Amino acid sequence: MAILVDSSTRLVVQGLTGSEGRFHGLRNRSHGTDVVAGVTPGKGGQDVEGIPIFDTVAEAVSKAGANTAMVFVPAPFASDAMYEAIDAGIGTVICITEGVPAHEMLRIHAFIAGRDVRLIGPNCPGALSPGKANVGIIPAEIFREGSIGLVSRSGTLTYQIGHELTQLGLGNSTIVGIGGDPIVGSSFIDVLALFEADPQTEYVVMVGEIGGDEEEKAAAFIESAMTKPVVAYIAGFTAPPGKTMGHAGAIISGSAGTAQAKKDALEARGVRVGTTPTETAELVAELARG
């Protein structure tokens, strides 16, 4: 088992004919993902190294059996691409694109309410279930299969902590980058709930950062609804108030959204919080080894 992406994933890449979409789509295929189609309007009938290109996602669903979409198109067109994938009946939509306007994401949130669809991103590295499927830009070669779920707002910290776990002889069930924008398709709570229900996942690592209150909400959820141990790391202890640090959502307003406030909220609910990525990985290893 795993969450979001696995051996049953049949991926359509929206933007496969572009340079970035092609590069990462083919890398996903090389790591075992079943990439069944690409979509670029006006280029239907072409192919990318044997992967058929369709004009619409609906065609990719009906003719190639796609059930998962990766959005790799420029920001001005990304919201339309997400709407198209959702309308076509895609169950999991993963948007890698950076720079999608927040007001567009608000509309998409309203659009998917009540629909049987899971949206990850935008501005995210994607999702990887080692040994099963990789959808996005996560470097699969530094991870190994195992029982630790990893959910993060930061792509690079995801890679670092995952690699630290690998160095300690541990592996991951699924790695999920939810994205660093103020409004994203899936929250920490959404992904934590999936890990809680996943038989393969025994432990969870949550990587947060300054800005917003998603980590505080997740802390309350962990206390009330999680039976699996959770270890956390919060990035941004040295960030000055009012300054955006890397991600559009990583900004402190007054006393809200600070790393210390998030750390305190998590620890108050029994979640161990590492002070560095290395210590965080070591805390998980300590739990996994009993």
Residues involved in catalysis: 247
Rounded Cα distance between 286 and 290, Å, is: 6
Parallel, antiparallel, or unpaired for β 10-14 and 203-209? unpaired
Structure tokens at 64: 């190639």
How far, in whole angstroms, is CA 116 from its chain's centroid? 18
Evaluate the omega torsion of the peptide bond into residue 199 and state whether it is cis, within 30 degrees of 0: no
Neighbours of 1 (CB within 10 A): 12
* Long-range residue pairs from 275-283, CB within 8 A, at least 24 positions apart, any chain: 276/233, 277/157, 277/160, 277/161, 277/164, 277/233, 278/164, 280/161, 280/164, 280/205, 280/207, 280/231, 280/232, 280/233, 281/161, 281/164, 281/165, 281/167, 281/168, 281/170, 281/205, 282/164, 282/168, 283/231
How far, in whole angstroms, is CA 258 from its chain's centroid? 22
Rounded Cα distance between 179 and 125, Å, is: 7
> Distances from the Cα of 63 to the Cαs of 53, 67, 85, in angstroms?
11, 12, 15
Structure tokens at 14: 């929206």
